Structure formats: C-alpha cells, structure tokens
Amino acid sequence: MQEQIIILDFGSQYTQVIARRIRECKVYSTILPYNTSAKEIASMNPKGLILSGGPMSVYSRKAPLPDKEIFNLGIPVLGICFGLQVMAKFLGGNVERGLKREYGKGNLSVKDGRCTLFKGLPKSLQVWNSHGDKLTELPEGFKTVAITENSPHAAIENRKRQLFGIQFHPEVVHTPKGKQIIGNYVQKICGCGRKWTMRSYIEKSVDDIRAQVGKEHVILGLSGGVDSSVTAALIHKAIGRHLTCIFVNNGVLRANEAEAVKKLFKDNFKCNFLYEDTAKLFLRKLKGVTDPETKRKIIGNTFIDVFQKATRKVGKAKFLAQGTLYPDVIESVPIAGNPAALIKSHHNVGGLPEKMKFELVEPLRCLFKDEVRQLGTELGLPKEVVWRQPFPGPGLAVRLLGDLTESRLEILRNADRIVVEVMKQHNWYYKVWQSFAVLLPVKSVGVMGDERTYEYTIAVRIVESKDGMTADWVKLPASLLETISSRIINEVDGVNRVVYDITSKPPGTIEWE
C-alpha cells in the first residue's frame, strides 16, 4: 500500500494547495470531508493527518467539527489555522476572538528550534496569516514553539503525542519557507519517503483498471483535451482494443478541432473510434440562449442524449470512462455543512442519468492538471496534446457572451484561431496557462477605410497559473498584443475593437461565463 497523508477539509480556499504541496514532496495526499470518521481514516492506514483551515470560528454554533477520536489514532496530526483551533478546543485549550486580526504577511519568531517542523529553518520567518481568532490557553501537554506579533501561540506541539498546530498558512507562496515546513512534517515527522512518481502512478493505475474492468468493454467520451486524451491513453495501455472512444462534435469547437482529434486517435492511436457530427443539433438548441449556466446545461444534457445513442452503436459495454480531475471532484461536490461554495457546474462530475447503466472508470480522479500533463508525457502523447491549454467542456459557447448564432460563433472562432496562432508563432503559447478570445455582446463605433463602422468587440484573455485555482493576467509585450489586435481587426469580419482583460483570479474567474 502506498504511503499517504490525509487532509481533512474544513472549507478552506487553500485545501487543494495543501494537497499539492505534499505531492511536490513526492508523497501521495488525499482530501476527505472534515467529518470523516476516525475508523474510516484508520482503515486507509495514513502516515499522517492534516486539518485544513476554514472560514468559521470554532466557538460558532455551526462550526464544522471532526470526530474527536482522530487525535487518538497514534499518527502525527498537523492543524493549520482553523485546524490548530479545532485541536486546541478538543484537547482542552481555549480559543478567543483576537483584539487585532491577522491578515496577510506577518513575521514568525521561532522560540524552540528543536521543533521538527522548523528544523533547518531560520529563527525569523515571513508567513501568511488569515485569521481573526487566536489560541489563548494551551491544551495540557502542549508547548509554544513560535509566536507572531498578535499570536502568543502561533505554533504549538505535543512532542510525545506527535500533535502539531500552526496559526499561519505554510501552503501558500506568501510563506516562502512553507514548503520546507510541510516537507519537515511529511518526511521528518511522518517518516514518508519520496516514492510517489508518475511512473508508479501508471503502474498502479493500469493494475487498478484491469482489476476493475476485467474483460468487459469501456466507452470513453473523447473531447480532444488533455484530460480525456490522457484518460484514453492510460486506459488503452491497460486494456487495448477493449476501449472505444466516442467523439461528439457539439458545434462549439475551435477551428479544425474535429479533424485534429480524428487524426490523432484514429490514425496514430489505432484505437476504436466513433465520430458523431451533431453540430447542427446543438446549435439549434442553443439558439437564443444567453444565460451561461443554461448554455452549460443544454450542452451537457444534449451531449448525454447524443452520447447515449452513440453507445448503442458500440455494442455491449459495461463501463464509461471520464477524465474527471481532483479539482472537479472537490469543487463540484460541496460537503454537507462545509461553507466552501460551488463556483460553477461541471458537466462531467456528479454521476450519470439512471437510464445510462454504466459503471464509471475515472483513472485521473486523484490528479491535478499539471500532474495529468506529467502523466501524458510519461505515456508518450505528443506535446501539442499534453500541453494543450485547458478548454471548457461547453466550448466556445461560454466564450460567446449573449445570443449564440452561427454568424457570431464564426466571428469568435476566427478571432480565437488568430490568438492561438500568434501565441504559438511567438513562442508564448506553452509559457502561459490559457490564451483565448471572448466575443462580447457590445458594439462600438469605428473607422475602417474612411468609413464609419459599428461592430463587435473581442476581449483577449491570457493568464498564467499552475493549476487553475488562482491565476494572474500575463504582462505580454506590447508588440505582441499589437499583432493580435491588428490581425483580428484586419482578418475577422464583424470586429472593429480588441481589448485586453487584466483581471486576476480571484476576484474574477478565468472564463468569462
């Protein structure tokens, strides 16, 4: 059984980041709901347990609280921010609202360098705080190992029981030495090795897929994106011709998308491939629809109908494969009582209609996007597939604000093609997370060829990110932005203005809808 660290999620916006930092230490991590029983945790045989932060106060009537027995499992426990306060409350300490709140950068003074969390680190550290409460009385058996200006117990430990608590967030980049703190916990305290690699993940996944599927047939809804392509490659490695890929043209794909996907999987992969061209059906159902969530639901429901009919052409199949990723799972299934909000619907998460009698195969369900790219590279997929920028399931429909018509879709498709072409030509495409065009339902006056024009506006969105959870707009050279703008205005009929989106995530999202 592989070594793993379990994280209990109390609704922190940083919970996934904790999981990422652990994996960067070459150790597997799993996120579970805060109320997972101690018995279930014990059955997973973890090397350690981390309690995440959260937006609520431990003394709130609705505070999310864990099974108290988690502190008696005999494994190291690390409480982060709210997690520290939970530990203190359950073990006899006292937490109160602070007279001063601590948000943003702070300075941590380490008072006991013998604490393994801070081994090899300086006595003074920059940390990132995000709390209004503070620990005022230590539980029995604990001692203070670090303080901040406003927190007299910013880091505590019970060395005998291997229980640790920190009031700051080591997982964020604003705590420069945070990765070493997490590394000390994972490796020096929990005793984990650096054994989790993509090669080991492939070997285990192939065995798991074969054990789950046996000699049955698997159907995969292929989009041509990174997730579904890597899923196809991994399952094909495991069961070969027992996999059939179905590609549905939903009418809102990028330029030349369908042809590229068909060539890659039909010609190069030599796998069973079924192409369903239903573009007209989707566009007919989307006509006149302006609400983004309605667009997503129409596309998702129509896809299921089309896909279900296509599966009948395949013959008998017991399993359906999906390229569901870890962020999809965490964001799309709110934990009961967990204050973390559902941002938007994911069309590939949450199960299948009851009439579709398939069992799910989701080999990427525990991976983040950059880990999927590593996996794709290990499987030998070409660079243009592995490093293809994320593309939403509802396609261009959510980048076309307002009424979706074929003429407006053509405008967006051409503008988007130019953005991608220019980024690739100037060696910027693979340096950023996403680069695309958005068609706004806004017309403005322009002058082209000495004539007055009244045409649409294209917004160009180019962001950098590691996993899509946060993002910042890219400071492209002015000359490159000029090239993109000039080409769009000169080559795309119906556009006379181009703007550049300089909004980060948060407060905005990467996509406009």
Q: Which residues are the active-site residues?
A: 81, 169, 171
Tokens 């369908």 belong to residue? 258
Interatomic CA distance for residues 29 and 3, integer angstroms: 9
For 506, half-sphere exposure in the C-beta direction (CA atoms, 13 angstrom radius) is 4
Helix (H, G, I), strand (E, B) or coil at 283: helix
Contacts by residues 307-310 (CB-CB < 8 Å, ≥ 24 positions apart): 307/221, 307/246, 307/248, 307/276, 308/355, 308/356, 310/246, 310/248, 310/274, 310/276
Contacts of 412 (CB under 8 A, 6+ apart): 396, 399, 400, 437, 438, 439, 458
- Bond from prior residue into 390 cis (ω within 30 degrees of 0): no
**Pair of tokens at residue 444:** 């403005």
Find out whether 195 and 3 touch, Cβ atoms under 8 Å: yes
What is the rounded CA–CA span in Å between residue 498 and residue 492? 11
DSSP codes, 443-504:
EEEEEETTEEEEEEEEEEEEEE-SSSSSBEE----HHHHHHHHHHHHHHSTTEEEEEE----
Please tell me the distance from the alpha carbon of residue 360 to that of residue 332, in angstroms, as a whole number: 17
Residue 77 phi/psi, 5-degree rounding, is: -125, 135
C-alpha 77/C-alpha 84 separation (Å) is 10
Q: Which of 228, 223, 250 is nearest to 305 (CA)?
A: 250
Measured CA to CA in angstroms, residue 350 lies from 70, 180, 245, 300 at distances of 29, 36, 21, 12
Side-chain-side CA neighbours of 494 within 13 Å: the count stands at 15
* Helix ranges, 289-405 (H): 292-314, 326-332, 369-378, 383-386
Outline where DSSP puts E strands in 323-433.
359-361
Radius of gyration of the chain (CA): 25
